[in-house]
Amino acid sequence: MSSCIFITDENLEPLISKNIKAIPNLQGILRLFKSVYTPESQPVISASSFHFVHIKRSSLLYVSVIHAYDASANVMLIATFLDQFHSLLKKYLAVSALDKNMVLDNVLLIMELIDESIDFGVIQITDASIMRDYIRVKVNMPENKTIDDLSLGDSDTDEEDNKKTKRRSGKPNLYKFLRGAKDGTHKAEHTDTAAKEDDVEDSYNSYIAKATIMPVSWRAKGIHYARNEFFLDVVEQVQYLMDFNSGIIKKNLIHGKIICKSYLSGMPKLKIAFNKLSQKDEQFISHSKFHQCVTWPSSNEKEIEFIPPDGDFVLCQYELKRHVKDQPMLKLVSFGVKPKLKKYKIQMSCTIETHFKARNSTSTLNLKIPLARLFQEYQIDLKKPARFKSDSGKVLFNISDDFLLWDIEVMKGGHGDTQLSMAAEFSLFNKKEFEEEQEELKNSMNPPPLRDGPKLEELYDQVHNEKGPSKMASRLLSMKFEIPYSTCSGLQVEYLKIDEEQLQYQSFPWVRYKTVNDEEYGYYV
Amino acid sequence: MSDQRIFAKYKANELRAELQVFDVKKSKTSAHKRKDALRKIIANLTMGNFTEMAFLYPEILKFWKIEDDLEVKRICHEYVRSLGSAKPKNAAEALPYILDDLDSRNEKVQIMALETLVAVPSPRFLEEATKTIISFINRRVIPPTVTKTAIYASEQIDFTENATRSHLLTLLLKFVERENTEPTLQVAALHALHTIHEKNIDLQPLRLPIDVAFKLLDLLPQLNEWDKALTLDSLTTAAVPESHDDAYEMIDIALTQLQHVNTFVALNAFKFIAYLLNYVDHVDENLIKRFSNSIVSLLNKPPEIQFLVLRNVILLLLSRDTPLLQLDVSYFFIEFNDPIYIKDTKLECLYLLANHGNLPRILEELEQYATDIDIQMSRKALRAIGNLAVKLDKESASDCVTVLLDLLEFGVDYVVQEIITVFRNILRKHPDDFTSSVKELVKYNDSVQEPESKNAMIWIITQYSCDIPNYLEVFKVFSSNILEENLEVQYSILTSSVKFFVKDPVPETEEICLQVLKICTEETNNPDLRARAFMYWSLLSMAHSSKNHIISAEAVKSVLDGELPVIELNTKLDPLVLEELELNIGSIASIYLKPVSQIFRSSRTRHLLQSPVLNKDRSNLKILSGSTSTVNLEGFDSLPEMVSHSSSDRSSSTAARKKMMNDYDKPAEKVNQLKGRRKSSVTSPSKISRKPSLLVRKLSMRKPF
């Protein structure tokens, strides 16, 4: 296995180094790595008598060194570990992206984490919820960090508050999700109870028997909650890319995740049945990955049975292909650019329609309409105001990144019968008029007419000169949306049964669905 | 306190002062500050400030005596560990304290002490460590976490005495077989066994009794992810099925792990199944489907891991004749935001996956890449198209050529050059099929700039001079400024000019030839080039001199302008190497696609272990041949008691191997190394599992593998 592990910043300066096999001269090794590393080099590099496995995550580089004599080393193991370790750190520090300072602030903690997750190079655990029971070094939160940087006034933020913010940020998914879903009274209750449970968890489950050596290694014994709840969220990300002009669909995929939050006492057994399983959806069965707690239904079983870990976990990840003929949930119906050269105007219009159940509606919906090409092909006169019109929502002009943002928010579902459209009008540069004006300015004694409002043309020039000529004008009209209560694939939980033999408590399972866009969802126009 | 403040370089004196000042006042805060000082020591050690910190040894030892605090202990241990490798002498002073800690009641302290013992490379430490480990593993009353650490620690130790080692091994084996222990401990023991066997060449390869193997497999659902992976990893080659049914059962158990979220687990399950497939007589199509699906879903990972998976895909594609994987090519289409190493690897996959059926799709995709803005990518795509044309048959090659010719019209410099380079290879593979395209190529004579494409161009002109009416004019473009060219191009100009003359001895060609020879012999500085020119010159003059007919003009022609052999792109690795690689899925060897012994230098001899079943069976071979049957000569499995069972599939593999040994003349060393590990196959003809008649054996022996 690996001989030593480094965490370095972008300049390959070591932030943390951990010597696993008592190798002398770690610095020398790192120098060697520096000499062979380039940002483009593949994840495994060999130099003199060492192999380096490195992965890059949010401005940090995780490097593991394998000695050339150590033939048993498994790169896959190491790469997976580094990847998992990164997510462990993120969970532990309760942030979405790590940076150099955060690592430097928590060196001891990270060293302990490394210590605990590997024994003699053999990986033991990388599960954050179990780790929490082992390592109780306090996390240095960003609040503390700012003291160093900005000497903030209230340095002694009280513990309680600190902890709460940590918890809160530790579960961004849940809270964002809840904020996203606006209506529904029981949702609000959701938030409260969840928050309450957090506190309860702290007081009741502070001591937990060591779980790593138990048969069910992902769950500790003696967990207790006053209110036993289980939250299950089915979140599907739809990836869709289509070339609008040629009508070729490049991508049409669903990336699904079933995210659970378990606040259950004791050792509960859960049974969950999915319609996809009972329908024997071949694709689902073969393209899903389950959490380690699930023993995969061997054959023809309709349900999965498992003992859940405590807290947050991802029960299942799946990937489904959609048929080419399946309509995208949000479809671009028309997109056009109409130059009216005589009037020195250019019009751009776009229409979208929805394809999901009529009783659902989107909670957020944004369209980014690219303008770079328009600006390249036509000489647009930004001195004259551009005009925007839309059936619903508002249109914003992002001048620095060359796009129009059409922010719709709520749009009803339907099957092609709900349509919304927008139009934008820009003025084209009128040379004749411009010359006339210049002439007039030269000859007349009047000062040039006053203009109020931002001078877009200057802004535009400023932004675009700084960047230099952009090589490729983006053609992607991307959409961002969120549709609660529906799944694109039609996946449904048929039933969810919670069973704890000894405690026999009443429990509350919550199930929700939501479909969101993937990073890649849009049309090339 | 922020750790940043701790991470500054300190002098030993400063820290010593800090440690001592607060020694006097015994209050809570001072203890806190002392701890900070200790932390600073460790921080400095990680930053490499060894020389300064080494002075603090006495202070550390002092603290060791008086402090009970867990963190202080941790720091002390860490200190000894990091300095121990550099200064073992100093570490020896700390040894009594470490031994003290071993008897501590706190299991954390015990674990720490054990780790320190193992980490310091000195004979005394080693001795103590060995003693402690064995006693820890033996005792039943100690906490399981300590036992676990002890087991893992045992992997690290280089044993001085064989007796202790074998004692330990039996202990570990007992552990693995023991009922009612914590499963992780069993896995730890299994892994330790595996590693120790791998590390020591003199040991016989690890082989578990079949029931133990099954018991371990049954544990799988209870284990955590890493343990799962370790089990599967260690069981590969250690668990040898004794019948087809065993193998199927094992596959069934491992199948469930294919869909694990953790890439490493999934890949190990994959490896295990691939290994087991060597022991079955037929493969279910469903299995292949699940296999392929699991690989596809692994591709949906962060780029680094995706890269590793792709490398292993390449390995699998190479290793099986009827590929284990049935993958749709679209998964390997390149995305613009892929890192460059992924793009390369995907191209390789596409190349390997290409066949007659999916060629149009691949070509379409490659054509797109070829017009990419990224010049590197575009070149690689063009090269890939060329390689495909060489790899596939004539019909498919003509598709590739059409695409290339289309791209040629694109007219961009680097595209044209790359196409010309690639075309040379295509023409070498299909010499007569694409002569009509040559004219098209020659039109772009002016745009070749790079030496490689110049070379290719010159070669094409020379070879197909009969199809180009004005070939001499075209050639003159190159030959006229031969002096400015790079060496490689000079060589080809020289050779070509001679060839022209030999092919068609007319005054024009003679003039060019003489001119080039003259320049090469008189004006160039490179001795090799000069020597070559002289060689040609004397060859020509010998053939043309009327006095002595040592060599005829015909003979010279055949020497200089002979028929060229058709080239073959060789992607197939040596099957023996492939087998070794297949058992090393996920390791570094799979990244470089080279046998382990080549990558881990110096472990060449050690490497025999890597495939444990084999090296033993050479000695067993003779004994077997007499007792059981002639077919078993090669001994599919190493141990004699095994041989009697699955002889049918062994027999087929034997036949296959015999063939192989003749086919591939490898150095003996290598053959021995990998011998015995036979993949018997997916294609193995016999369906009879238990006791095949002699006739069937004979039949199956003759069947080609």
CA distance B624 to A305: 49
Q: Please indicate whether, in this complex, the C-beta atoms of A22 and B81 are within 8 angstroms of each other.
A: yes
Q: What is the pLDDT of residues A466-523, one digit of tens each?
A: 655 555 567 888 999 999 988 888 888 888 888 888 888 888 889 999 999 988 898 9
Picking from A272, A244, A339, the residue whose alpha carbon sits closest to that of residue A494 is: A272
Q: Give me the pLDDT at residue B321, please.
A: 60
Q: Give me the pLDDT at residue B625, please.
A: 31
pLDDT surpassing 60 at residue A144 = no
A325 CB burial (10 A radius; 0-12, 13-18, 19+): exposed
- Read off the DSSP letter of residue B260: B
Q: Please indicate whether, in this complex, the C-beta atoms of A55 and B304 are within 8 angstroms of each other.
A: yes
Q: Is A141 touching B (CB cutoff 8 A)?
A: no
Name the minimum distance, in Å, from the CA of B149 to any CA of chain A.
7
Name the minimum distance, in Å, from the CA of A488 to any CA of chain B.
19
Q: Give me the pLDDT at residue A450, please.
A: 76
Query: Listing from the earlier edge strand, what are the strands of the sheet with A330-340?
Result: A330-340, A345-361, A412-427, A387-390
Given a contact cutoff of 8 angstroms between Cβ atoms, the answer to whether B175 and B196 are in contact is: no
pLDDT surpassing 70 at residue A175 = no
Question: Closest partner residue to B256 among A70, A298, A471, by Cβ?
Answer: A298
Q: Which residues of A touch B334 (CB under 8 A)?
A: none
- Read off the DSSP letter of residue B563: P
Looking at domain A4-139, which of 3.30.450.60, 3.30.1490.100, 3.30.565.10, 3.10.620.30 is its CATH number? 3.30.450.60
β-strand pairing of A330-340 with A364-370: unpaired
User: Which of A:47-106 have CB within 8 Å of B?
Assistant: 49, 51, 54-57, 66, 68-77, 79-81, 83-84, 101, 104-106
Q: Please indicate whether, in this complex, the C-beta atoms of B600 and A71 are within 8 angstroms of each other.
A: yes
Hunting for tokens 């400095």 — which residue is that?
B44
Give me the CATH topology for the region A330-437+458-483: Immunoglobulin-like (2.60.40)
Question: Closest partner residue to A122 among B152, B223, B300, by Cβ?
Answer: B152
CA distance A336 to A478: 16
Q: Please report which confidence band the pLDDT of residue A407 belongs to, taking 50, 70 and 90 as the band edges.
A: very high
Question: Closest partner residue to B3 among A49, A108, A119, by Cβ?
Answer: A108
User: Which of B:306-325 have CB within 8 Å of A?
Assistant: 307-308, 312
At a CB cut-off of 8 Å and minimum separation 6, what does A499 contact?
Answer: A268, A269, A270, A271
User: Which of B:338-397 have CB within 8 Å of A?
Assistant: 339-341, 373
At a CB cut-off of 8 Å and minimum separation 6, what does B105 contact?
Answer: none
Q: Please report which confidence band the pLDDT of residue A135 belongs to, taking 50, 70 and 90 as the band edges.
A: low
Q: Which residues of A touch B610 (CB under 8 A)?
A: 71
Residue A360, SS3 per DSSP: strand
Mean pLDDT of chain A: 77
Give domain limits for chain A: 4-139, 228-325+505-519, 330-437+458-483
Q: Is B305 touching A (CB cutoff 8 A)?
A: yes
Hunting for tokens 């079949």 — which residue is that?
B210
Q: What does pLDDT average to in each consecutive run of 10 residues of chain B (705 residues)?
A: 62 71 57 74 72 75 72 78 73 78 78 80 80 80 78 76 79 78 81 78 73 82 81 80 79 80 83 79 74 78 86 81 72 82 87 84 86 82 87 84 84 84 85 80 80 87 81 80 84 87 81 86 86 86 70 74 72 70 76 69 37 35 30 34 34 34 30 33 36 42 39
Q: Domain spanning A228-325+505-519: which CATH class is it, in words?
A: mainly beta
pLDDT surpassing 50 at residue A62 = yes
Q: What is the pLDDT of residues A86-101, one digit of tens each?
A: 888 888 887 878 888 8
CA distance A82 to A72: 18
Q: Which helix (H) or strand (E) holds A368?
A: strand A364-370
pTM greater than 0.90: no
- Residue B382: alpha-carbon gap to chain centroid: 26
Q: Give me the pLDDT at residue B688, please.
A: 36
Q: For B5, name the nearest residue in chain A, comparing CA atoms only.
A: A105
Given a contact cutoff of 8 angstroms between Cβ atoms, the answer to whether A479 and A331 are in contact is: no
Question: Closest partner residue to B588 among A75, A126, A214, by Cβ?
Answer: A75
Backbone angles phi, psi at A482, to 5 degrees: -150, 125
Domains A228-325+505-519 and A330-437+458-483 share a fold: yes
Given a contact cutoff of 8 angstroms between Cβ atoms, the answer to whether B609 and B201 are in contact is: yes
pLDDT surpassing 60 at residue A149 = no
CA distance B250 to B235: 11
Q: Give me the pLDDT at residue B28, please.
A: 61
Name the minimum distance, in Å, from the CA of A218 to any CA of chain B.
7
Q: What is the pLDDT of residues A267-318, one digit of tens each?
A: 888 888 888 777 777 777 777 788 877 766 555 567 888 888 888 888 888 8
Given a contact cutoff of 8 angstroms between Cβ atoms, the answer to whether B366 and B350 are in contact is: yes
Give domain limits for chain B: 481-563, 575-702
Q: How far is CA A341 from CA A346, A369, A383, A434, B682, in A?
A: 7, 22, 17, 15, 70
At a CB cut-off of 8 Å and minimum separation 6, what does A283 contact?
Answer: A320, A321
Q: Is A293 touching B (CB cutoff 8 A)?
A: no
Name the minimum distance, in Å, from the CA of A386 to any CA of chain B.
33
CA distance A444 to B328: 73
Q: Which residues of A touch B264 (CB under 8 A)?
A: 74, 76-77, 80-81
Name the minimum distance, in Å, from the CA of B17 to any CA of chain A.
23
Q: For B112, name the nearest residue in chain A, comparing CA atoms only.
A: A115
Q: Give me the pLDDT at residue B570, please.
A: 65
Amino acid in the structure at residue B482 = I
CA distance A66 to B214: 32
The predicted model gives A327-354 an average pLDDT of 88
Q: What share of chain B is helix, strand, coil (3-state, %, to 5)?
A: 70, 0, 30
